[in-house]
Structures are given as structure tokens and as C-alpha cells.
Amino acid sequence: MSLGSWFGRIVRAGAQDYTKRQHIYVTPQDTRTDVTNQSRKQVLGLARYWFYNSPVVRGAIDCMVRNSIGPGIKMQSRTSDEGWNRATEEWLANWSLACDVRGLLDWNTIQQVATRTMLRDNELFILLTDNGDGWPMLQMVEAHRCETPDYLQGEKRIIDGVRVNAQGRPLSYYINLGQDDKFSEVQAPDLIVLAERDRADELRSLSRLVTCLNLIQDREEIITNTMVSVKRASAIGLALEGEGSAGFFGPETTTNDGITTDRVFGGGAIWNVPNGRKIREIKDDRPSPNLTEFMDQFLRAVASGLGLPYEYLWKADLSGPSQRFVLAQAQRRFDEISQAIITQLVSRVRLWALAKAIKRGDLTPPRGMDRWWDVAFHTPKKSTIDAGRDSLADREDLKMGIRTLADIAGERGEDWQDVLDQRKIEKAYESGGEVKAEPLITSIGIGGAQALSSIIQQIGQGLITPTQAETILVSVFGMTTEAARKIAQDAGVKKTEQPASIPRDNSQAPDEQQVSPDGQNTAPSEQPEQELELSHPTVTVTMQAPVELKAEPAHATVLTEAFTMKDDPDLELTDKELNMVAKAIGLKNKPARKKKS
């Protein structure tokens, strides 16, 4: 048995069996043969026709544009030089208002038109040119303009208006100027081809609506015929049956279609039916519920052709989990579109425009900067039905470090640096121009406050040094060096502020006792000469061996208040516990203790 016969017995698709289905004869060939220039133009014309005449097609494409790029994809310079970032953004903001050759569109509108054209025609050409003095300009050219001139027909290296090399790489494009069949040959580096490719060897792309154009036409014809039938049935309410030709209510009228009708009769009349004749009411149940269900398949075809879930396009009466699934699937399609626009159009235009600005002398990148084009792109905010829950999850993920502010702001179509800058501006406005530091507990949360309180206690107990604590506060909690040093030093002072090391003046009472290192009570005059006196609150005493300090209960000092945190995410602290946390992290000054007289 040969391999070919064995393979033919396994694969049943495409088998010639006229008793079951019509045979479709196809042979695999190159794209240029499968999709001819004439067939591509026919599909392009139908796609544009139904875009303007079918509200389903127009609404679906507009919805995809709205959720993919919104008013336009934002570009945020992200180099290490903030001055250069501001300069490039200011220049691009001015350029975006005067970037169209015709002077009709700004940069954001060009993005919208380009995205809409790509989804409808699946092909658009953007010419990179200038106004004569180096100012970068854009010119959009629709797909039907690119074709092979008559005088170049038969050239093997020119395919559907594209000149290619031996490897199939486009070298130039022939653009019909629309004036006496005049053409302009545009070099490939000066032209952006915006399209979603389907095949590896395609030079010209086919509209994605090609899979559902016939079904769209079938649906529109069914709707039109049903509408005509319903209108005609609603115009004739009663029928007079029996012999006779005279009108029952008045003179008869014959329409152009050959239908004889009586005149319209007013309400409140009493009918006197002649003998041998009767009145029958005409009922019409169209459109039937079955027709409505039948029409859904056409809508599904349109949604599938455009890559959208049917439920997102037409049917939204779903449960919560189902709606979330549909939104997630639709968002993936929106991300595909926005990524195509960023990769093929926005990033390339931005790089080209900045290069032209540098060449003109409008911008000068800092010396030694090798990546002056670094940028972050921001797409519109993602659609959701759980805005409150998503915001809560974002806040918790940000506190835990699972996600960053850049991730969260990016999903909302914002830039994280702009968010922080705006927050500073608002805080300065609230404080009358003075920027106040954000409370530490706002950023570290209750769990972080508990950990910080534990570190402060360990400093006071001598388990870690202030220097070690300062390093932890800077690297783990993200504090500034000054703030971390102050907290560590203050906690170190608390350790040294023991009753035994507080210097006494000579005016104290004779019966006052002090605690000596050996545990015996001594008089002030008997104090060892080498005792270290605290001259500055930031000095820390470190003992080489464990020493038990004994003091009178009246002189005992509580170092740090402590409490036990419960592992409960919804824990509500009492006022006393909140005050203790605030004292531990420096949000609230502890009341000064009065010395005992």
C-alpha cells in the first residue's frame, strides 16, 4: 500500500461525494494567485458598501476603534533625562496639530481614521513626507490607489502595484494620482503599510469582512423583504369576501400592484354587510420568533469575522461570570488592534518625526544619550463591570508589591509619573503651596506598621543596632535616608534613657538612691568616676555583658507599648491601638514625661 492511498483513506475532508455535498475544487497556490487584483478590489468595494449601509458593521467597527485606541494612543517619553522628556513631549504636542498634508486632521484623528480603515479595508498606506523645509508631514492613501500601471503590466517583479526584489521584499509602491492615469512610485522606506496580515507571502491584504460579506447581504435582504411584507399587511386590515364588485365602504381604489382596496373608514361606524358577503380580518404574524433566532446566525458571522464575541456585539443579557468572560475575550481583540497600531504606525511615526526635528535643529538630545527615543504608550481604560472590586484589588496588589503603579495606571490609560505629579500638585494646593509628606501608614499599610513597630522594639531591646535598622527601613520600607536615620536614632535613645544613666544634680534629696552595675544602691557621691554621662540624646550605650538593672518601681520607664495584631484583613483597631501605631511610626509625637521631683 502506497503512502498516498493510505493518506487518502484517513483524510475525508474534500472527498468527492456528490450524494452528500457539493464538491469544491481547490488547489493550494500563492496568495497572488488565490487573491487576484480584481477579486481584492471587489471585496474592498463590498466592505466599504456595507460599512456605510449596515448599522451592525458600522457599529462593530466603531466600537473596536473606541476601545482599542480611544481618542488616540498617548506617547510618554521615558528616557533618563527629564528635561529631554519634557522637550520631546512639548514638540510632539505642537507637531500633532499640524501633521496632515491636507491640513484637515490632527495626529489623534489620523490614528482614529487609520484604525477604522484598517478594520474595514485591512489596508492603508501612510506616506512620510515634509512641507519642503523639513517639517514632518503625513499623507494617508487608501488601498484602491495602489495598483500596477498599464505600461508595467506583465512585469514579473511588480505584483498588484508593488515592486519586489528576488526575495519578495517590497522595494516601491505605485500610487495612482487620479489624474489621467498618472502614477507616482514611492520608495518602501517612505511608506507605512497598515494591515493585519493573514498569510506569510501576501503583499496586499484582504478585508477581514470577506468571510461574512455574503451573509451580511442575505441578512439585509431578509430584513428588507420582511419589512415590506409587514408594512403591506398593516396597510390592509379587513377583507370583504363574497360576490359583487362594488366597494363596501365606498369607491374602490386599485394600486399599481393590482390590489383593489376600499377607502379608509373612520371609527365608530356600524357595518351593514350585504347578503352573501362577509368581512374577514387579515392577520400577519411576521416577523415570527423563529425568524429572530434565524437572524442571529448572521450576526454571529459578522462578530466572528471581526474577531469579537457575539455577546459583546449584540447580546448582553448574561450573568456576571459570563459577562466577565465575554469582556475578557473582547479585550484581547482590542489589545491586538492597539498593538498593531502602536507597532506599525505610532512608534514608527514618532521616531521618524523626532529624527526630523533633530535634523531641523528643533531638538537637541543630551550628549552621550544613545536611546533618546525611549517611550511608553498608553491605550484607553479597559472595560469592566466590576470597577469597585477591581480598584480594591489594585490597591491591595500595590501594597503587597505584586503590581506596580505603572501597571495599574497603564490599564486606565494614564501615565504613572503624571499621576504622581498631579498628586503633588493637589497636595500643594490643599496646603496652600507647601507640599506635605504623605503619612507613612498610607503607603505601608497596617501590616507594614506592625513590622515597623517590631523593628523599633528590637532597637530598644538592643537586638539590632540603629545602623542596621536604618538599612532595613531604607531598603524594605522605601524610606528616605533622613527619615530612617531619625527613627532609628530616636529608638536608640529610648534604650539608653534608663533611670540609672540620667545625670543628677547636687540638689537632689539625700535619701535618693541610684542603681549601680553590681545591683547595689549607692549614694550620688559614691557614683563611679568612669560612668558615661549622656550629653546628647543621639548617643547610644552598648554594654559588653548582660547586666541586670534594678530600680525602684517608681523610676521604672515603659519603653514601648505593644499589642498583638490579628491575622484578619478586615481588622478594625481601637483608638488606643491606632495611637500606639501612630507613635511607633512617627505620625504622632508622644507626650513628654515629666520628671519626678
3-state secondary structure 512-530: CCEECCCCCEECHHHCCCC
Task: Assess contact for 82 and 421: CB atoms under 8 A.
Answer: no
**Phi, psi torsion values for 426, nearest 5 degrees:** -70, -40
pLDDT of residue 524: 45
Measured in whole angstroms, the distance separating CA 395 from the mean position of its chain's CA atoms is 17
Cell numbers at 342, concatenated: 502602536
Which amino acid is present at 498? Q
Distance CA 198, CA 31 (A): 10
Cell numbers at 356, concatenated: 526630523
Q: Considering only CA atoms, which of 142, 166, 287, 300 is closest in space to residue 227? A: 287
Handedness of CA 434, 439, 440, 445 (dihedral sign): negative
The CA distances from residue 347 to 97, 189, 352, 379, in Å, are 18, 15, 9, 13
Cell numbers 498516498 correspond to what residue?
4
Handedness of CA 104, 108, 114, 120 (dihedral sign): negative
Neighbours of 247 (CB within 10 A): 14
Q: Residue 114: which residues within 8 A CB-CB, separation 6 or more?
A: 124, 126, 140, 194, 341, 345
pTM: 0.64
Taking each helix axis from N to C end, the angle separating 481-496 and 466-475, rounded to the nearest 10 degrees, works out to 150
Distance CA 181, CA 497 (A): 96
Beta partners for 441?
none
pLDDT of residue 290: 81
Q: Which residues of the chain have pLDDT under 50?
A: 1-7, 497-567, 569, 590, 597
Which amino acid is present at 130? D
**Phi, psi torsion values for 385, nearest 5 degrees:** -110, 0
CA angle 185, 100, 94 (to 5 degrees): 135
Distance CA 91, CA 86 (A): 9
Cell numbers at 143, concatenated: 488601498
Rg (CA), the chain: 41
Task: Assess contact for 481 and 470: CB atoms under 8 A.
Answer: yes
Secondary structure of residue 176 in the 3-state scheme: strand
pLDDT of residue 263: 54
Distance CA 412, CA 414 (A): 6
Secondary structure of residue 42 in the 3-state scheme: helix
Cell numbers at 21, concatenated: 455535498
CA atoms within 13 A on the CB side of 357: 23
Continuous segment of H or E residues that includes residue 310: helix 310-313
Cell numbers at 167, concatenated: 526575495
User: In terms of residues, how long is the chain?
Assistant: 597
Beta partners for 159?
162
Burial call 271-305: b when 16+ CB within 10 Å, e when fewer: eeeeeeeeeeeeeeeebeeeeeeebeebbbbbbeb
Distance CA 106, CA 110 (A): 6
Cell numbers 484589588 correspond to what residue?
393
Task: Assess contact for 347 and 126: CB atoms under 8 A.
Answer: no
Neighbours of 17 (CB within 10 A): 10
pLDDT of residue 534: 39
pLDDT digits (tens, 9 = 90+) for 496-544: 544 444 444 444 444 444 444 444 444 444 444 444 343 343 334 344 4
Distance CA 463, CA 492 (A): 11
- Please give the full DSSP string across 467-510, using - where no structure is assigned: HHHHHHHHHTT---HHHHHHHHHHHHHHHH--GGGS---TTS-T
Distance CA 299, CA 305 (A): 10
